[in-house]
Structure 1
Amino acid sequence: MLFRWIANWRKAPSLGARGEAAAARFLRQLGYVIIARSDRSKLGEIDIIAVDGRTVVFVEVKTRSSSDAAHPSEAVDTHKQAKLTRLAISYLRRHNLLECKARFDVIAITWPAAAQTPTIEHFLNAFEPAGQYQMFS
Structure 2
Amino acid sequence: MESEGSRPLVGAEGEDAAAKALRRCGYKILEQNYRCALGELDLVALEGKTLVFVEVKSGFARGISPRERVDSRKRRKLSQVAMFYLKQKRMEGVSARFDVVEVDFHSQGGTPRVEIIPNAFDLELG
| TM-score, scaled to structure 1 | 0.81
**Equivalent in the alignment of 1:32:** 27
Counterpart secondary structure, 1:14? helix
Inter-partner Cα distance in structure 2 for 1:77 and 1:116:
29
**Equivalent in the alignment of 2:105:** 111
**Equivalent in the alignment of 2:3:** none
Aligned CA RMSD, in angstroms, stands at 1.9
Counterpart secondary structure, 1:31? coil
Change (3 A) 1:113 1:126: closer
Inter-partner Cα distance in structure 2 for 1:97 and 1:131:
18
Counterpart secondary structure, 1:17? helix
Pick the aligned partner of 2:81 from 74, 81, 87.
87
> Which has the larger Rg?
1
The alignment of Structure 1 onto Structure 2 pairs a total of residues equal to 120
Pick the aligned partner of 2:10 from 6, 15, 25.
15
**Equivalent in the alignment of 2:42:** 47
Sequence identity (%): 40
Once the 2 structures are TM-superposed, how far is the Cα of residue 65 of structure 1 from its aligned partner? 1.9
CA contact 2:41–2:81 (8 Å) conserved in 1: yes
Pick the aligned partner of 1:65 from 56, 60, 71.
60
CA contact 1:73–1:107 (8 Å) conserved in 2: no
Once the 2 structures are TM-superposed, how far is the Cα of residue 71 of structure 1 from its aligned partner? 3.1
Pairing 1:97–2:91 present? yes
Structure 2: where are the runs of 5+ without partners? 1-5
Q: 1:78-108: CA deviations, max 9, x gaps?
A: 1111111100000000000001000000001
Pick the aligned partner of 1:78 from 55, 61, 72.
72
Change (3 A) 1:78 1:117: same
- Please state which structure has a larger fraction of its residues in strand: 2
